[in-house]
Every structure is written in C-alpha cells, then in structure tokens.
Structure 1
Amino acid sequence: MRFVIITGLSGAGKTQAVRAFEDLGYFCVDNLPPTLISKFVEACSRGEGKIEKVALVIDIRGGAFFDDIIESFNILKNLGHKLEVLYLEAQDEVLVKRYKETRRKHPLAPDGRITTGVSKEKEKLRELKDMADNIIDTSKLSARQLREKITEIYGEEGQIEKELMITVLSFGFKYGIPVDADLVFDVRFLPNPFYIKELKPFSGNDACVSDYVVSFDETKEFLNKLSDMLEFLIPYYKKEGKRQLIVAIGCTGGRHRSVTIANKIYKTLQSKSYAVSIDHRDIEEDFNRGVSKL
C-alpha cells in the first residue's frame, strides 16, 4: 500500500494537489489529525487490498494536533509502513498575492500580516520539509502544470490524467438554463416543428422531426459554425486542465429543435474520437406536465 502525505505552506496548492491524487486513483483524506494517522493506516491495511493508494493532507490546520506529526511518522516506521512526503511551497510574494486574491486570512496570523503567518508556518514546517521525498515550488506553476508534475511523480507507469469528458445537453428554456452548463446555445431562431400538426407528437430523436429541422439552410449553416467553434475551443479547454465540459443547447420546450441539434453535435464530436455523452433533459417535460404550448 502506498501512503503519501501532502503537506506544505498554506496557499501553495494543496487543494489542487489532492484533486490530482484523486484523479490518479488515490483514496484521499484532507486535514487528518496526525494522532489518527496510525489508526487510519491500520484500518486501511485491514481493507483486504481494496485500498492500494492513500494520500493524506496534513498541515498546520490541525492546530495543537499538528505537533504530534513527527511522533506519528516514527510510530508508523517502527510498524514497517513507508510514508512518502510531498511538500508544496511557493515564494512569499506569491503566497501573499494568492491570499489577497482570495481574501483569506492566514491561519497563523488571522489578525496580522500575511507575511508574519508565512514566516511562522515555515518555521513550524521546517522539520517536515527536511523529511520530504519530493518538494514542489508552485510559484510559477498553473493548476494544470502542478497536476502534470504530480502525475509524473506519483502516477503509475503509463498513467495519464483523466481526459476531458464532454456532455451535449438539450434543454427547454421554459424549464430553466442548466446550472452546470459551460456553453449555452439558443436554437429558438430555427423553424419550430411544434407548429406542424404531423410533427408535434414526435421529438428530435425521430427522423421526421430531425429531417425537418435540418432541411433549412440556416440549420445547416449553424451546425457548421457550431461544430467549428467547438473544434476550436475543446483543445484549449483540455490544455487548461478542464475535466468536464457541458455544452447546452436550448429551444423553447426542449423536445424538438434542441434535441435535433444536440444529436447532430454529439455525432460530430463522437466522430472526432472525443469522450462525449448525450442527455436530453426536458424531452418529455411537456407531456409529463400536460403543457400544450412550446
């Protein structure tokens, strides 16, 4: 079993680090009191192999408990367990800037200057830093670059970060814009099959509705432009380390036009070998609610 202790200066990126470990398949615990480390390790060891990799975030948030960390490490070593320590740090001016941007108070100087808290924390962590197997200075690293470094050090051979997952989501504006949408496109400008008596009962999943919506020149042009835009954007989202992209396409009721366009975009992205799924949020809402107007 592999145990990694994530520690270091407040504001140096421990939150981003633990997310990277989670993506690498580690069982992660944040802010575990050092006195409980040995009991936690013992519990994991009795897990019959179900937990193979563990990452624990331990820092000065533990307050008085933090002073027990070296003793806890020694107990584990005497029991034959190996702990790896990852220490994150950053330049003082970078830490001050990050604290000012987030408007947080330093835990060791809640009513004083941030620089005072940083100095106290460095002194308190000095012995732990000396024990570190790996030290990463995050001063000039983006969140993506930090994840790449952690993957390089702690990932298994050949293991890479999770790829960008794309969800193409159709919806009806009358039921609200999806709160988790990253990109929202309004297709209410397209001719509406709802007003065609023969098409009204069907949805964009049916060929009769889909063929009708796509038969218009404006639909073809929109699909081409939207496909080009997504093809341009997706590599940049991946480059910045985004893990999930929700592309929401809405019409009035979420049954005809948005479903048709979402299906077309889904197939286009799928043909480009992207990891993509499709979801029609409101396709049955009008019938479930007995609404008669789209």
Structure 2
Amino acid sequence: MKFVIITGMSGAGKSQAVKCMEDLGFYCVDNLPPALISKFVELCLQSHGDIQKVALVIDIRGGMFFDDLFASLDELKELQYHYEILFLDANDAILIKRFKETRRNHPLAFNESIVEGINKEREILKKLKMMATNIIDTTRMTPGQLKEELRNIYLEGNKTDNLIIYITSFGFKHGIPLDSDLVFDVRFLPNPYYVEELRDFTGKDLKVREYVMNSSVSVAFSNKLFELTDFLIPHYIKEGKNQLVISIGCTGGKHRSVTIAYVLYHKLKEKGYRAILTHRDDTLGERK
C-alpha cells in the first residue's frame, strides 16, 4: 500500500494537493489526529486490497494533537509500515499574500500578526521538514503545475531530488525578478525586434526561435549555459536547496530571453531535472 503523509506550511497548497491526490486515485483524509494514524493504516490494510493508495493531511491545525505525530511515526516504523512524507512550503511573502487574499487567519496567529504565526509554524515544522521524502516549494507554482509535479512523483514514479528549477524569461526594462538565484543577460544575441515580420511575435513562436538560434553565438551560448547549470545543480542539491530560479533577460522580455529560456528548459527536462518554464513579461500567455 502506498501511504503518504501530506504536511507543510499553512497556505502552501495542502488543500490543492489533496484534490490532486484524489484525482490520482488516493484515498484522502484531511486533519486526522496523529494518534489515530496506525489504527487507520491497519483498517486500510484489512480492506483486502480495496485501498491501495492513501494520503493523510497532518498539520498544525490539529493543535495539541499535533504533538503526537512523531510518536505515531515511530510506531509505524516499529510495525514496519512504510510511509512517505510530502512537505509543502512557500516563501513568507507568498504565504502572507495568500492569507490576505483569502482573508483567513493563520492558525497560530491568535492575537498576533501573520508573520509571527508563520515564524512559529516554521519552528514547529523544522524537524518534520528534515524528515520529508519529498519537498515541493509552491512559491512560483500554479495549481496546474503542482498537479503535474504530484503526478510525476506519485503516478509516474519519477524519483525526485527535491530541487525544482524555475526558468524565467524577463525584460530588463521591467526590472530583474527579485527571487532570482542566477541571472543571465542575453541582450547580445540577434534581436528579432528589428525584423518587421517577427516583431509582433515572441520566443514562443517557432519562427522567432529559429531566427535567434540561427546564430553560432546563440548556439554556443545556450550550450555553455546548459553546461554551467548542469554543473551547478548537483551542488545546489547537495546544499539542500529546494528551488533554483534561473532568470534570463533581454530588453523587453519577449524574444531572445524567451527563446533561450525555452531551449534551456527543454535541455534540463531531457536530462531528467524537475524544471518549470515561465515568461514574466510575455503578455501573449503560455504557448509552450
């Protein structure tokens, strides 16, 4: 039986994850008291194979019952029940934004600010995060991207190193993305903006990508960029990094940066990395 415990920060997307897991055929239970976990597993095992995949959401909403979680996990090990822990996280700014948008109070912020509630929760969940089998940072994720990530892990069975790589194109005239880890300037590449029949298209269109990549400089740069990131990624994984944001910029963020981001994304995917492609300043929407 596949048994997954879903936990993580409030506002990081656990409710959305449960919906996705149900779509993947998991029998899901939200906010089960941790002391009942082993009994629940026993019941599932007695279903004579009717229940093959189970996901439980366990988080700080359980209040004082949450303290029983580690004892319950030890009990599962003693009973030789295999389990996985999925930990959902997001940066503080996004968590605060989500709470304000939904007008919800943080479960630990009784008479305090959302920030103080988040800080308390991070401290409480620190040990649990270290025990996690899979960590997904939803800071930059759409619900669709989260579903795809869960599908890759729990349906396709792809192994995960817990590092998600975000490749983002942008325009320097609109500013560098604040959460960038690596920033590359591609304003030296051939610019389709000065070709009248290409100006109104973007790097998502094949004819624009062909124009940009029909240059030995573009090809050489894209190869060297992949070699560099391929070299760096294992070191970021060793460091324990959960997400890596690679930002690629040109002047307006529509042609050259989109093209190189597209090329790098597909090279990383072919290598087996968990990569997500976004285009911050392309107003024409996604057409990967």
Q: TM-score by structure 1 length? A: 0.53
3-state SS of 1:96 partner: helix
| Structure 1 contact 89–135 (Cα < 8 Å) conserved | yes
3-state SS of 1:94 partner: helix
Q: In structure 2, what is the Cα distance between the partners aligned to 1:115 and 1:156?
A: 37
Instruction: Encode CA deviations 1:16-65: one digit per residue, 9 max, x unaligned.
Output: 00000000000000000100001000110111010000000000001101
> What are the ranges of 5 or more consecutive residues in structure 1 without an aligned counterpart?
159-294
| Structure 1 contact 105–111 (Cα < 8 Å) conserved | no
Instruction: Encode CA deviations 1:162-189: one digit per residue, 9 max, x unaligned.
Output: xxxxxxxxxxxxxxxxxxxxxxxxxxxx
| 1:87 equivalenced with 2:123 (yes/no) | no
Number of residue pairs matched?
A: 158
Instruction: Encode CA deviations 1:197-248: one digit per residue, 9 max, x unaligned.
Output: xxxxxxxxxxxxxxxxxxxxxxxxxxxxxxxxxxxxxxxxxxxxxxxxxxxx
3-state SS of 1:66 partner: helix
| Structure 1 contact 34–66 (Cα < 8 Å) conserved | yes
Match of 2:266 in 1: none
3-state SS of 2:6 partner: strand
| 1:39 equivalenced with 2:42 (yes/no) | no
Match of 1:206 in 2: none
Q: In structure 2, what is the Cα distance between the partners aligned to 1:67 and 1:129?
A: 15
Instruction: Encode CA deviations 1:113-156: one digit per residue, 9 max, x unaligned.
Output: 00000000000011110100000000000000000000000114
Q: In structure 2, what is the Cα distance between the partners aligned to 1:145 and 1:4?
A: 20
Instruction: Encode CA deviations 1:248-275: one digit per residue, 9 max, x unaligned.
Output: xxxxxxxxxxxxxxxxxxxxxxxxxxxx
Q: In structure 2, what is the Cα distance between the partners aligned to 1:157 and 1:31?
A: 26
Match of 1:14 in 2: 14
| Structure 1 contact 88–137 (Cα < 8 Å) conserved | yes
Map 1:88-103; keep pairs closer than 5 Å: 88-103=88-103
Match of 1:107 in 2: 107
Q: Which letter does structure 1 place at the counterpart of 2:154?
A: Y
Match of 2:121 in 1: 121
Q: In structure 1, what is the Cα distance between the partners aligned to 2:66 and 2:54?
A: 19
> What are the ranges of 5 or more consecutive residues in structure 2 without an aligned counterpart?
159-288
Q: In structure 2, what is the Cα distance between the partners aligned to 1:86 and 1:110?
A: 27
Q: Percent identity?
A: 59
Match of 2:135 in 1: 135
Match of 2:77 in 1: 77
Q: Which letter does structure 2 place at the counterpart of 1:150?
A: L
3-state SS of 2:48 partner: coil
Q: Which letter does structure 2 place at the counterpart of 1:90?
A: A
157 and 92 in structure 1: CA distance in 2 versus 1, 3 angstrom threshold: closer
When the two chains are superposed, the root-mean-square deviation of aligned CA atoms in Å is 1.1
3-state SS of 1:25 partner: coil
Q: Whose Rg is larger?
A: 1
3-state SS of 1:55 partner: strand
State the shift of 1:112 in Å: 1.3
156 and 48 in structure 1: CA distance in 2 versus 1, 3 angstrom threshold: farther
| 1:65 equivalenced with 2:53 (yes/no) | no
| Structure 1 contact 12–138 (Cα < 8 Å) conserved | yes
Q: Which letter does structure 2 place at the counterpart of 1:139?
A: T
Q: In structure 2, what is the Cα distance between the partners aligned to 1:12 and 1:2?
A: 23
Instruction: Encode CA deviations 1:49-98: one digit per residue, 9 max, x unaligned.
Output: 10000000000001101001011001011101111000000000000000
State the shift of 1:110 in Å: 2.5
Q: In structure 1, what is the Cα distance between the partners aligned to 2:108 and 2:74?
A: 26
Moved over 4 A (4+): none
State the shift of 1:157 in Å: 5.7
Q: Which letter does structure 2 place at the counterpart of 1:81?
A: Y
Q: TM-score by structure 2 length? A: 0.54
Q: Which letter does structure 1 place at the counterpart of 2:146?
A: L
Match of 2:145 in 1: 145
